[in-house]
Each structure stands twice: as C-alpha cells, then as structure tokens.
Structure 1
Amino acid sequence: MKVSETTTNSKLDIIEKTSRSRVCGYLKAKGRTIVNGANEEVLLIGWGLGNWFLNEGYMWNSFENIRFDRPRRIERVVEELTGKVYKEHFFKEFRSNYITEAEIRDMAELGYNSVRIPIHWRLLMEEDEEIIFKETGFQMIDQCLDWCEKYSLYAFIDMHGAPGGQTGANIDDSIDDVPRLFTDEHSYKQCIELWKEIARRYKDRYIVGGYDLLNEPIRPGSAQVASYDHLLPRLIQFYEDVIHEIRKIDDKHMFSIEGHHWSTTTEIFDRVYDANMVIHFHRYGCNPDYQAYKAFVELSMKMNLPLWLGETGENILEWFSAMYPLALDLNIGLNIWPAKKMEGINSLYSIKEPAGWRKILSYLEGGMHPGYQEARAIFDELLQNIKYENCIQNKHVTDAVLRRSGARVMGIDFDEFPGRGHSYFSHLHHENEHPHRSNTGMRLIPRTRKDPAKIGFYNQWDFNALVLQRGEFACYTFTGNQSEKEWQVSIRGLEEGELIVYENDGAIQKIQFSKSSDYQVFVLPSLKQDATFLRLKIEVLSGEAAVDWVQLKDVMRKGK
C-alpha cells in the first residue's frame, strides 16, 4: 500500500476531532474511526498516569536496578529504609497526592481530551485464594473518573499489572518475570473476575472511554530472557473469555486490544474480538516517520477497525514534534507515557529530586543505610515534591506534541501530507544510508550531535540533515496562536546559492548562503500573526543547502 492511499485528516479536522466538546457519550468503533454518543468522530490525545497505581523505578531516578524496579520491590526497599509503619503511611499519601484534580484540570486546559489509568490488581484485590476486592483502590478510580467528567476527558482503564503478571517483567509487578496470568489458573480466574467487577461498577459511566484489557502482554524473548511465545494461544483465549464475560454485564464500552512483544506486533489481530474494539499498539525508539505506522495502518484497513497509539514517549521533544502530528494526520489517536516522573524533561510534570535522594540510590547499589530518621525525612520531602503545585510544569512538552509555537522540528521531519509535489519535492528518488523518510526519496546527509542524557529510547534518527538543490523544497506546518512570532531556520550551504522562504504561500525572505562547514541560524519574521496554521516552505533557487532544523517562536518584547 502506498502512503498516498491512506486516509488522512486535515489540520482543521484534527482540531475538531480532538476538541473536548466531543467528550460526550460512550465511545464506539465505527469502521476505522471512533465516534462519541452524538456520532461525531473523536481523535484521542492524552497522557498515561504512570507511577500512580503501579510504580516503576526509573520514574524515581533509579535506572536498571532490579532491587527497585517494580512495586513489590520498591515497597520492600521503602520498608527497609523507613520501617513498616512509615511505609504504609508513605504509600497512602503518595497515592493521594501523585495524581489529583489539579493534574486533570491542567491537562484539559492544555488541550488534551483523554487519560489512561494504569491500574494494579494488588490495589484492587486481596492477594488471596478468595476473590476479595479492596475499596480503597476503586475509590482512587472513582475519584479520577469524577475529575475527568468535570473537565471532559475520557479515561481508559488499563490493566497494567494483572494477577500473576501478563508481561513477565517489572512493568506488571510479576514475582519472577514469568507471565503467570497465562500459566496459573487462579491468576487467570482472578483477572477475569476483576474485569467483571470493573464492568459492574463502571458500565453506566460514559466518561470511561474503554477497557484496555491487558498492557503489553508477553514480552519478547532474548539471550537473557526466556521466550513465552508459546503462550500466545492462551493470550487469545483470554481475550475471548474476558470479553465474553464482560459483555454479559456491559454492552456499551469499547475494548482496547493490545498485541504481544511490547504491543508492537500484529500477529494476534487475525480476528475481530468484538465489534466495538480499537487496535492498540505502542511505539518507542523508532524513526518518527510513516514506517512507524505502516503495518498498523495496513491492518486497520484490512480489519476495518480504528487505531490507538496507546503508549509512546520517552524521547527528545523533536521526536515528539515529528511522531505525534503524523499520528493525528493518519487519524490515529495517541496517549503519551508518562505524565509525571522525577526530573522528567519530557513529561508534563517534573518532580524535583529530594535532597539526600542520592543516599537512597546509593543504598540500592550496596551503599550504607542512611538511618531510619534521615530516610523518613527524604521520603517526606518526596511526598511534598510530587504535589502538582511543587512540580515543574513543562508547558514546552505540549508545544512539541501539538507542534505549535515553541516547538523545534528537524529538517528531515518535513510534512508527510499531502505528499510529493505539495509537502516536499526532490528531482530524484534518493536511496540514503539511513532509512528515515525512505518512502519520500528526499536526500539526507549525516549530521553529528551530542546524545541527550537519560533519554532511554533516543535512537539518533536526527543525526541527519535534509539536502535541497535548485527547484527542490520542503514544508513544515505548525499550529499558530495570536502572539507575535518569528521563524528560526538552521541552514548550511553545501554549494553557494540562494533560497526563498514562504509562509502560507507568501514569500517572507530570500537568503543567500555560501559553502560552509558550519550551520547558520537565520531569523525571519512571521507575517501571519492570526493564522490558525503556519506552513513554512523552504525552496532552493540555486546551489545546494542542508536544512538542520526549523523553529517557530513567540517574540518576547521588553516590558511585556
């Protein structure tokens, strides 16, 4: 299938479909789209509330330490450091303050229309032979749903940690990295009973966008980790069984179905599990171009079902600016992970590391115990730091997600649509050494950069620049606002020449460039101050130039 054969949204379509005014009534799959109770199309855009129900060590600045990588181990370490009584106090306060009405309100004000609530079975059920539910965990869900209803955000209930573990990794809090949900009958029964209880409680709440039945089931095997692919038939059986049981109680809510291997494969989607379902997939660390979506777009067309990029993120913001507008263009909703974490430069909310936190991390590596009193003081500070009002508000992250003023876009991440001759043009179809944007045929050359620190899925796709010769061009579309703005463009002359820059088809300025080994930043005025969308076009008139990046920025005047 060619890219040109896919169905795409206009930029105005995206504004309408992501509007919170469309958060009304139960969501439903209708062909390859999702519609609300008024039969209006909805395009999901939001964040995952990671580390709230189910803690992950890296969100506490503990990277790759197995002593502190999942809830049961984190709880054990907190008890070792502070005592059992304090541990109980700490986690009660942590869950009361990590996600509050303030975060939900802020996400709505930023322009998002949905959240994903990653639940952990141990907060909702007793670890016992009997099926006994815990009201405290359900009260957390109830309260969050009330906030979501108040501020018009759909909430997806995500089984992130299923009984026994569905993944076989830290992210499901499994006891031994075995996906025991599929091997142990009791765990299988517990999970189905839990979903039946969720359906009983929330079947009449439209604000629940859908039931995300299992997060990232059955991880891939490797030289270090056993493969459990032989359990795929059991995964398929689970989906069929749990859907059958839920539909006896709830015939309204949409199902979100994820494939195996970190929700990246299409293999299990050989059937329609339910008429009201969305195909849910994840993308991390890939090149942010059409190839990241191609297999699932083709699957969507084949199965006539909608798509949801239900988890993604953990990259530099230029990756966000390339990856997420393209998803929305393709009518793929998205949910970014996670909304909040410690020192989170690519999350909405960044928690400040407490003074003395390095003593906690040192203890994890075999260092000395800091003493109960000091450890409790450090965790007390963390309880203060996690509060919304004490977090750093990373508004620039949303600028990148929505590609609006403030975002920076790499030269190689020019518009995909409407396609060749409109969004970009090259005289020849180039076969580059790097595969990024290979479907476009545009020429890329290497561009060395420094690797960013603590970005787990950064893959150096941006170690390239776009080359344009006479008569070739590339376009970059941003969302505008009412403020005074300017363009900044980083260009290097490969051969002496001239280019012209257009904004929404109106010429802004010609730029002469000389052959150089360095990139130069040119600052250009934005002339369309009231435009909803701003489309920058760079066309080379003579010579040859490399485009490194493009940025739209608000102009800050003195005295304002």
Structure 2
Amino acid sequence: MGYYDKERVRGFLHNQDGIIVNDFGEEVILRGWGMGNWDNPEGFMLGTQSGFGLFEPGKYAPMGRMDRGRSMDQILRETCGTKYAEEFWKRWRRLYLTEEDIALLSRRGYNSVRLPIRAGSFLYEEPGITYNEDSFAMLNDVLDWCETYQVYAVVDFHAATAGQSGIPCDDGVDNGQHLYDDEESMERMFLLMEEFMRRYKDRWIIGAYDCINEPISMTPRREELTPKLVYFYEEMIRRCRKIDQKHLFLLNGTQFSSLTYFFDHEFDPEYHNWGISLHAYEMVVPEVASLASVLRICREQKICLWMGETGGRNEHAWQTTMYEILAEYHAGYNLWCWKTVEGAGCASILNFNVPDEWHLITDYAINGAAKPSYEHAQAIWDSYLECLAVDKCKENTQYHPYLLREGNFEIPAIGYNALPMDSHRGLSDLPNAAGYRLYDRFELVYEKGYHPEPAGFAAPGPIKHPRDHVQLQLGAGEYASYTIREKETYTVSVTYCADKEVKVQAAIQGETLFEGGMPPAGEKVTSDVHPYFAYETAPNTLERFTLGTVTGEGILKIEVLDGCARFGQIVIRKSEK
C-alpha cells in the first residue's frame, strides 16, 4: 500500500500503461486538495454569491458582481482604487496560500496539491506578450514549499484565456466559451503554456499539468465545440513537447470534466505521457459502473486516470467508498477545496470568517447599497486578508480519517472493496432492491421502515442519501472485504442485526481476527434528524459487535459461515496510548 507514501514523492511522474509511476518505477497514487480561491477566486468561496443561478444554457449572461476573480478585481478598483487593487492581488496570493498551508497538508497525510491558476494572472491582458513576473515568483515559492514537504504540485490551468467553460470559475467576461472562437486568445494560451514549459521543464515537483478545467460546460454548443477542444489539446501537447518532454498531461473532458468519449486516440504520440482528469461529486453513484466508460477508455488507450476535482460537504460515506474504488483502479483524487469562507457549502479543511463589515462591500457590489469611502473600504479588505492565515482558520479534521482510512472512521458495509474480483462474493440470483452495485450479486436491503422516494437516487431537490439506509445482507458462504490503512493499534467492530445467532469469520491479511457466533441483534427504527443532512432522517440504530484488535494496515475480510445477518458499518477505533 506504499503508493501514497511521501517517500515516493521523488522524480517526474509518468503514465506507464495506465498507472502513474515516478522516475524510479514506483507507483504513485495522488491524493490531495485543491487550492481554489488562491489565484482564481470564486464568489461562493469568498462569501458573496455563486453566479451559477445567472446562467441558463444558450442564454447570454455577463459575469456577476463578485462571482469570480475578474469581477472581484472590478469591485476592488471601484471601492479601493486602482493602485490599491494592483498591490492587493500580490498580498492576496501570498497570504491565501502560505508555506504553513503546504506543511499542514503534508502533515495530514496528503501527497499532492492542485494549484488552480488563471491565465490573466500570468499573462497580462493587453497587446503583445508580457508576463507577470510577480505571479511566476509566487508560484516558484509554492513549488519550493512542495519540494520541502514532499507534495507533488499539479498545475491546473483553471481559467484559460478568454474563458473555456462558460461558468464563473473560468474567469471569463460572460458565460461564453470564447477560447474556441477567438484565434488570438487560443494562440495566447498556447504561448502561455509554452512559457510554463520553458520555466519549469526541469521541476520534477510539478507532478502534472491539469488541462483545462471543465471545458465546454452548460452550453448547447457542446457538440459543435468539442472538435475545437480536441484540436486545442493536440496542438497544445505538440507545441509543449518541443520544449518539455518530461511532464505528464492530464486532460479534462467536457460538461464539468465528465464526458470523455473523445479521448479515443493518441494525444501525445511521441511520449504517451498523458491521462484523463475526471471530475465527480456526490451526485455520482459511488460504484464501478459509474466509472466504467472512462475506465474502459483508459484501458484501451493505456492511459492513467485521476479524479482531479471531487468532494461534497460531509459526504464521508460517499468519499471513503468512491476513493477506495478509485485506488483499486490505480486512480487518485483531489478534493475541492482546501480553504474557503465559512459556509461555502463544499468540502474544506480550513474555514475563515469574513470581517464584521464585509457586508458593506457585498451590499454595495450586489445590492446597490452605498459605497464605503475609499479609506473605509481599504480597511475592510485589509481585514479580510488578515482572516486568511492558517492560525486564524478553523480546521475541519473530520475529513481526514475517511479520506485516508486512518484513525477513527466508519466504512459503510455496502462500501466493500471492488477488486480483486475474489475479494467479495454474493450468491443472490436476483438484482438487489436498492439498485446499487448490481453486478456483485449481493442482497442489499433498505433498513426497516425506510422507503426511498420514487425517483430513487436521482430525486430532485436536495441530494438525498438513500445509501445511508441500505444494509449489506450476508448469508452462508458470502463475504466482503474492506481496506484499512491505520498503521497503529485499533479495534474492529461491526454494526448489524440478525434474527438468530450467526456464525462469522473475520480475518485481516489472512490472519483470523474472530471466528464464532454473533448473538441475535435488533434494529431500532429512528426518526432522529440525520447527523449531517437536516432534511432527512438518521439511519436506524444497529447493535455493535467487536471483532477484535489489530495492529497495522491490511484488508479485512468478513464472511458468514452459517445463518444470515444484515451489516450497517465497519467501525474502526484507534486504541488510546
């Protein structure tokens, strides 16, 4: 299981028949966080607005007020003046992402960071080609920190020249995808990327280039523009390879980096050092079937896969299931987003609070209220900058155990390992009623008293969590396996219900942990509110049974020898020293 180890953060990364390896031939699976808001701010992470409500596919919409870096810059100039705005960005980028951020990310067990950048920060938007040396100096510092703390940096071209996505995160002037229609803008993007190749061709700490974020999203022109995106990728790699023959390229599909069908041929003919960057959030069902099409493409093209953007606030069951499936297929993940304003609504490790008078800026920008004086506005923005330091933020530590599978965490019983194929065995001759992981022949049943909405997993409105109410039923001869990465001593328990005594064998790494009878156990139906999602009920309460104590990581296998039981969770609790 060493593919996450910090000791493997050494040397350039390469695609090797669909697996990412370093210069020493060691497999590396990237797991980490994205540094959104740092060089490419977005309204919902600033404490203003998302801007997504403005955009209807096919209907023109200009950028919103304070929904992206470009409009944030405009508000800065209106409230504080041009000179202040120019200096502000230098301070913002150096205070939002600091050495302590990278050090903390590394200490928490992650081996990579995604660095979303906007083209306008590095290439001035004016006639001619003039690069912003301060931005490159800032990036150089970040790369140095990444080397110091053994963290691969994935440079993410999040906001291309002129806009490539049609949504606020591309920092465009509106909801158009002008990169593909404007020859000058596309050429400027090629030139910018060539400049990155010249400056960083020997920096192995750049694990990959992530190109380009969520292209051609929310538009009826997707079929029309996709061939232009294909051309962009092919020409980009052709030109970049004349300068840099070493770095890995990870290419995004269309429609929020989810449609990948056009990666059906070689995009890097000389070096074959490329792969796919897939985006998926909690709306995607966490099972192999959801990944089948992209996994098949990767297998056919012999290219690697990376889930370059993912997350979901408090979606711990989803995350620990989906990311383990990815690992089994040699794919890593990167969550959005490392640091955000409190209440942004996305997964985040660090949250900061805005200054008390921040509403004076947002009321002016969004609601047309009176503008604070220049001096007053500058003081408010200065106060905002003071909120960004790591020691001023609240750390959300609850994510780490589920993402890393270390410490105290639970694995849904239905979140069993997908591979190898003999790591699980179901014997049912009917598809399960829950409609989840149908190919595995397990009986997955809804808990007592729970009835899903007719639309099932695709119900409109707030995202529902029917899988939180699904139990894994195991009968004689059936078993499932679960990966645990805790390196110290811990206890393994299960929650379950059974009408009669059930005989069970549990083993970890082939060594018997428990073999014997588990007594009959009931199921307590609850009407309590879900601990994370206020609009639905909590799962039923099941009995808990301790299987034993273990030291060191391994794969836990649970098999029913006689009888039948329904399992809710695998519970891991680290032993106190």
Shorter-chain TM-score category?
Answer: 0.7 to 0.9
Which residue in 1 is equivalent to 2:235? 241
Does structure 2 retain, via aligned residues, the 8 Å contact 1:466–1:548? yes
Which residue in 2 is equivalent to 1:33? 19
What CA distance in whole angstroms lies between the structure 2 residues aligned with 1:99 and 1:156?
15
Does structure 2 retain, via aligned residues, the 8 Å contact 1:528–1:534? no
Higher deviation after alignment, 522-531 or 202-211? 522-531
Is it true that 1:355 corresponds to 2:373 in the alignment? Answer: no
Does structure 2 retain, via aligned residues, the 8 Å contact 1:476–1:536? yes
Distance 1:55 1:542, change over 3 A: same
Does structure 1 retain, via aligned residues, the 8 Å contact 2:349–2:395? yes
Which residue in 2 is equivalent to 1:7? none
Which residue in 1 is equivalent to 2:397? 395
What CA distance in whole angstroms lies between the structure 2 residues aligned with 1:188 and 1:438?
45
Does structure 2 retain, via aligned residues, the 8 Å contact 1:403–1:478? yes
- Paired residue for 2:563, among 538, 542, 552? 542
Deviations 1:26-61 (A, max 9, x none): 222221122212222222222221111101111124
AA matched with 1:502: A
Which residue in 1 is equivalent to 2:246? 252
Does structure 1 retain, via aligned residues, the 8 Å contact 2:493–2:548? no
SS of aligned partner of 1:512 = coil
Distance 1:492 1:88, change over 3 A: farther
Residue 386 of structure 1 and its aligned partner are, at CA, apart by: 1.4
The gaps in structure 1 that reach 5 residues or longer are 1-11
Which residue in 1 is equivalent to 2:441? 441
Does structure 2 retain, via aligned residues, the 8 Å contact 1:474–1:539? no
Distance 1:414 1:194, change over 3 A: same
What CA distance in whole angstroms lies between the structure 2 residues aligned with 1:360 and 1:269?
45
- Paired residue for 2:482, among 467, 471, 476? 476
Which residue in 2 is equivalent to 1:502? 506
Which residue in 2 is equivalent to 1:154? 152
Q: Percent identity?
A: 28
The gaps in structure 2 that reach 5 residues or longer are 52-63, 454-460, 527-539
Does structure 2 retain, via aligned residues, the 8 Å contact 1:469–1:540? no
Which residue in 1 is equivalent to 2:318? 319
What CA distance in whole angstroms lies between the structure 2 residues aligned with 1:194 and 1:43?
28
Residue 279 of structure 1 and its aligned partner are, at CA, apart by: 2.1
Deviations 1:391-435 (A, max 9, x none): 222333121112223222223212223336x43434334243x43
SS of aligned partner of 1:42 = coil
Is it true that 1:462 corresponds to 2:467 in the alignment? Answer: yes
SS of aligned partner of 1:54 = coil
Higher deviation after alignment, 326-335 or 435-444? 435-444
Which residue in 2 is equivalent to 1:268? 262
- Paired residue for 1:513, among 521, 529, 538? 521
AA matched with 1:107: L
SS of aligned partner of 1:262 = helix
- Paired residue for 2:45, among 59, 83, 89? 59
Deviations 1:422-459 (A, max 9, x none): 43434334243x432222232333455999xxxx9955
Which residue in 1 is equivalent to 2:408? 406
Which residue in 1 is equivalent to 2:137? 139
Deviations 1:106-135 (A, max 9, x none): 222222222221111111011112111110
Query: In the comparison of the two structures, how many residue pairs are matched?
Result: 530
What CA distance in whole angstroms lies between the structure 2 residues aligned with 1:479 and 1:527?
16
AA matched with 1:326: I
SS of aligned partner of 1:550 = strand
Deviations 1:443-496 (A, max 9, x none): 333455999xxxx9955252431241542444433222324x344544345x55
Which residue in 2 is equivalent to 1:46? 32
What CA distance in whole angstroms lies between the structure 2 residues aligned with 1:100 and 1:78?
22
Residue 353 of structure 1 and its aligned partner are, at CA, apart by: 4.3
Higher deviation after alignment, 269-278 or 189-198? 269-278
Residue 252 of structure 1 and its aligned partner are, at CA, apart by: 1.7
Does structure 1 retain, via aligned residues, the 8 Å contact 2:261–2:297? no
Deviations 1:264-290 (A, max 9, x none): 112221211111112222212201111
Residue 82 of structure 1 and its aligned partner are, at CA, apart by: 4.8
What CA distance in whole angstroms lies between the structure 1 residues aligned with 2:10 and 2:522?
56
SS of aligned partner of 1:280 = strand
Q: Report the TM-score, using the length of structure 2 for normalisation.
A: 0.84
- Paired residue for 2:496, among 491, 498, 504? 491
Distance 1:481 1:87, change over 3 A: same
Deviations 1:297-326 (A, max 9, x none): 111111111212222112412211111111
AA matched with 2:385: L
Distance 1:406 1:355, change over 3 A: farther
Distance 1:263 1:506, change over 3 A: same
SS of aligned partner of 1:240 = helix
Residue 500 of structure 1 and its aligned partner are, at CA, apart by: 4.0
Higher deviation after alignment, 184-193 or 466-475? 466-475
SS of aligned partner of 1:529 = strand
Which residue in 2 is equivalent to 1:277? 274
AA matched with 1:135: E
- Paired residue for 2:387, among 382, 385, 388? 385
Deviations 1:304-354 (A, max 9, x none): 112122221124122111111111111112222212212267322222344
Residue 89 of structure 1 and its aligned partner are, at CA, apart by: 4.5
Which residue in 2 is equivalent to 1:106? 104
Distance 1:450 1:37, change over 3 A: same
Distance 1:94 1:101, change over 3 A: same
SS of aligned partner of 2:402 = helix
AA matched with 1:200: R
Distance 1:188 1:367, change over 3 A: closer
Distance 1:371 1:511, change over 3 A: farther
Distance 1:449 1:207, change over 3 A: farther
Which residue in 1 is equivalent to 2:289? 291
Which residue in 2 is equivalent to 1:551? 571
AA matched with 2:440: T
Which residue in 1 is equivalent to 2:537? none
SS of aligned partner of 1:273 = coil
Higher deviation after alignment, 86-95 or 209-218? 86-95
Distance 1:268 1:84, change over 3 A: same
Deviations 1:212-269 (A, max 9, x none): 2311111143xxxx43431112111111222221122112222222221111112221
AA matched with 2:572: L
Which residue in 2 is equivalent to 1:3? none
SS of aligned partner of 2:563 = strand
Does structure 2 retain, via aligned residues, the 8 Å contact 1:257–1:280? yes
Higher deviation after alignment, 306-315 or 163-172? 306-315
What CA distance in whole angstroms lies between the structure 2 residues aligned with 1:355 and 1:549?
43
Is it true that 1:418 corresponds to 2:426 in the alignment? Answer: no
Higher deviation after alignment, 320-329 or 368-377? 368-377
Which residue in 1 is equivalent to 2:6? 20
Does structure 1 retain, via aligned residues, the 8 Å contact 2:497–2:543? no
AA matched with 2:352: I
Which residue in 2 is equivalent to 1:339? 338
- Paired residue for 2:224, among 201, 224, 230? 230
What CA distance in whole angstroms lies between the structure 1 residues aligned with 2:425 and 2:358?
49
Distance 1:441 1:49, change over 3 A: same
AA matched with 2:280: R
Which residue in 1 is equivalent to 2:458? none
Is it true that 1:328 corresponds to 2:327 in the alignment? Answer: yes
